Structure 1
Amino acid sequence: MTDLKPRVIKNNDLYVFQLPEDILNSLQLMVFDSSVAEVEPDKPSNFVETKRESPKEEQGVLGRCGTCEIESKPDGKEHYKTDFHRFNLKRKLNDFEPISLSEFEKLVENDDVESLSGSDSNSDSEDDIYDEDKDKLSSILEDQLANMTVSNEGENSNEDQRASHLNTRSPQIFFKSQLLQKDEVLAAYKALFSRSSIEVALETIQKWNHSISEKPNEEVPYSALFMVGGGHFAGAIVSHKRLNIKGSMTKNNETLQERSVQFLEHKTFHRYTTRRKQGGSQSAMDNSKGKANSAGSSLRRYNEIALRMDIQQLLNQWQPYLKKCQNIFIRAKSTSDRKIFIDSNTCLDKNDQRIRSFPFTTKRPTGHELKKAWCQLTYLHVNNKPKAEVKKEVVTEKSNEAKAPPQMSAPEVSDPNEIHTRELISLLKKSRAPALISYLRKNNLDVNFALKPADEYLQTPTMLHYASQQGLRNMVLILLSNLKCDPTMKNGAGKTSWDLTKKTDVKQAFQMARYNLGEQFTNWASSGVGEPLSREDVESINDQEKKRLDSEQAHLIEQELSAAKEKQRLDKEARRGPGKILMPQISSLQRNTNSLNDDQRMRLMREQRARAAEARMKLNANR
């Protein structure tokens, strides 16, 4: 390869299916070790392809054993019955490379084994010979593996530590080019390759470019793109050959690369499936919080089914394309959305290796977003050269112990009352009434147990004070009704447990306890507890309060609606303008008499009556 000088590479020249000749010839696949440090490849990148495309193999002159990596004759089925093949097969299962036939023969000679297959011995049965051969092969393999482990100690001998171009720990593989600067590389997404083609990534890119350039009249390869989420769907069949776009003008905020994307088919549609500003589909909401019965939820459920049917109908229409396309990229927001494409009603199979996901995040599914995602996926990216990870030095256990931060341990408590206080407070917070009663009985503690230390629980010296202050309604009711705590006890400020709460439901718990215990239980007047109420009374009061709040809320809503209507009417009148006052149409005689005074108007009316009388007289004379 001739030396090329670095130059400025345009983004439009980095389309992976139509690379310029100089860029295509300058690509070199980068190989990394386990620490993402670049290493030189042991073999040229086209080594595997050269072996596979050997003309002798195509003609059937030679066969090849993939386990032993040797050539064999066409009638070489006997090779698979030999000890040499069986031994390499065992090595392969233990993640070791195969050995050559000469190495195997030396190994057998050193172990003083004349024949492992038992073909020279006729005295033993076939089962005995097979078991004996198996033991001998296993013993030789174990000895060799032990020796290799000792000799390779401290070196990278595991499979995951071998150098490969896939050790990038990123969704991309990298290529070197003499046209780039020193610290720059070209990156291509791994999702663009299949499982087999990614092993020979450079040859695959060369094949893509030659298939489009050498056969322009034949059918060009194409891929399928699908996005769905939030009720939006976008799908397209995109050709690997770009449109010939001249100039650098943009249209609808599209770049030159996006304008050159050639869609053979594309479709977008939307269904109302998610509640606005709430997020999540209606089915997910039903599964988490139960099925709602509103009109909106029913509409969203219907639209989810309709969206699924629309997508699957479109997939069946595009079935001729989907059978021949090279890649199928699907972006689904959830697993339920992804199942739309691999359902039994579609032509796609969930085990199809062509189905992949976009290796980057995308926005709302639209036709423009499909073009943008395709450009990001199929164009090489100029990135900085990956940096090797710095391995952390292994430190001894003593140093780890010395550097380890001291663990924060709870201060030791010598007073047993403080221990009891912690346990009781913990059970109160969790509202674990049975456990609280059991703890009091087990430790013979009084229900009016004074919490310790006293300075910390100055406002809440008893459990009833603490439950009342924290708003623990159920625990207040249990402490009074079941455990019969004293509600008249006061704290350091002279307040009872009733005085420490401001919540209505907690006060109702005190009143229900007074009703349950009766007036003879204690001096309720000194405790400050209100009048006794039964559970039915409390429910009635709560129902009335709820109805009052509902009516107030309805009244407020009605006022807001009337105010909104009035504001709407005023805004409409303001937009309409003052307008013109229309005067009633009057005759010319009336307009003339309006300018006369009363006497003139009376004289004019007399003349009009006289002329009318003369006209009638003439009419009668003519008859």
Structure 2
Amino acid sequence: MSIYHIYSLPAELLQSLVPRNSPTAQKPPSPEPTVQPSSNSIPTACNICLGATFSNLEQQRAHYRSDWHRYNVKNRLNGSQPISEFDFTQLIDALEDSLSGSESSSDEGTESDSERDAVSTLISKHKTRTSTSPDSSARRIPRTALSWFHSPPSTQIGVYRTLFPHDTPEDSYLEALKDIQTPISGGRRWAMFMVAGGHFAGAVVRVSKAGQEDEVQPKKQKKPVLDTEVLRHKTFHRYTTRRKQGGSQGLNDNAKGNAKSAGAVLRRYGEQALQDDIRNLLSDWEDDINECDLIFIRATGSNRKIFLGYEGSSISKGDDRLRTFPFPTRRPTQSELSRCLLELTRVKVSHFTEEALRAQDEAYLASLPKPKPIPPVRPATPDKPKIKPIKLSKEEEALREKWSRLLEMVSKGRLEPLKAFWEREGENLGGLDARIPEWAGEKRTATLLQLAAYSDEEDVTNWLLEMRADPTILVPRIDQEGDLEDSSEGPDKRRQTAYNLAQSRGVRDVFRRIAGAHPEWWDWFGDANIPSALSKEMEDEREEKKKARRKGLKDRVKEREAKEKPKEKPEIVVEVPSVSTPSSGPQKLGGGAGDIAGIAGLTPEMRAKIERERRARAAEARLKQVQK
């Protein structure tokens, strides 16, 4: 298996390279192959992750366990489009809670809780963004982190795009790759910094050999010049994050206010100390940083301010050398920096035939989500004209106020104020049978009698009927759209009167009682819908039946209890020796010591019975003394 360094590619390979073309001119570029499949194998592609392909089963399983695949699967279930690995890496870097990974490089296969939390956080943020973004349904062309080149007949190499200058167009990547092969004096240098969760790791490394004028080595040199060499490195840690809680103390203070615990004070001190340590280190390494070609920084939004934008900063915000790591990283350690350096400088190599590449392109195009159809634009409906409020005169305002007071007293059963108010204003309001105005909003009732019956007010209903309020007026009917119907035309099975609106038996009895006392006033049993009259004798008879029914119920309950009561055991009479107590002097509550000895050995039931008898005799003795 060939291993190539990014700055020392063979000249023969460079001359044969051509850019990896897109499947079609109008469609997005094809996915890049993964590392080192054999030329005879047929690649397996992931239909979700934008056509990612694998050369063997181990690569496929590793891909299915990756956060990138899990994120795309959840996006697909939520109806969203998958993203490329490069875009996923950018999203991970933007998270405030970074991926912590495993404690050592030997645990790369395990997935930590923070990674699962990161994927869940990304999904929730993506939902919020897509729900508010106006162009979320537009088709987005995916772009991977690697740029691939093809060397006929069956060799492909991949280089991270972030290694090329920012202003390099995609069709000029091959020329840029050839340009960086030219050796320079002193070699090329990179600066790499990581900070997350209070952990910091930094290094300045030489990533290419020096030029020919610097390659003159002593004759007795034993060690060959390596492609990469660590010139400076430093790691340290400060307590800034509460274990298993996530997020820094500063973010928690900004969201919820300053916490007053001892741990919060320590974490604030750790954040400030971490910032001072990093900035002092950057100041010490300023000369080395100025000689670097690229500067890689892995830091979240708040931590990124540690490196940039402060007075005397060694790195300016608009520096063209600034880069982010184009792949997920773990906890900042020296070993993690070494792994990232190896990942960036090692060229990805694969061996696919033309047929395999063509099959790969077809699988990729088939995996792309289809764009959602654009919904038709509906013509804008004209706004409904606003109804201007009607200006009322003083007389109309006074009338409405009187009606409001009247309806309130009727519906709340305030009979005495109602009588006094009606004596003063009854004639001005149109009498007892006057219709309730429409502006009052009482659609279910039309008269005061109907409102009193519907509100279940017996006293007000009785007073209105005694005042000869008409019980035959029909209740208004309401159609399905909430509008009133005319209920006065012809008979109808649904016709209702005030009696039908009564909510309780007491109000209905008021109607029946008045109908029995004054049958000549109205057509009670016809137009008023009252079923029958109710006289004093009928009420007394109903009350007697109710008492008899209650008495019979009590008798049946007693008989049932007598049958179910178990047969009582014969009482065992135990003679308790009487203990004479002195008539004077202190006495203890509950008897003396002789009483306790007399009931020793008895069952609890017998003891309780003896105690009751003793208390009864004591009560009789006290009663006799009082009578004397």
Task: Give the structure-2-normalised TM-score.
Answer: 0.36
Q: Larger helix proportion, structure 1 or 2?
A: 1
Task: Give the structure-1-normalised TM-score.
Answer: 0.36
Q: Which structure's relative contact order is higher, taking Cα pairs within 8 Å and 6+ residues apart?
A: 2
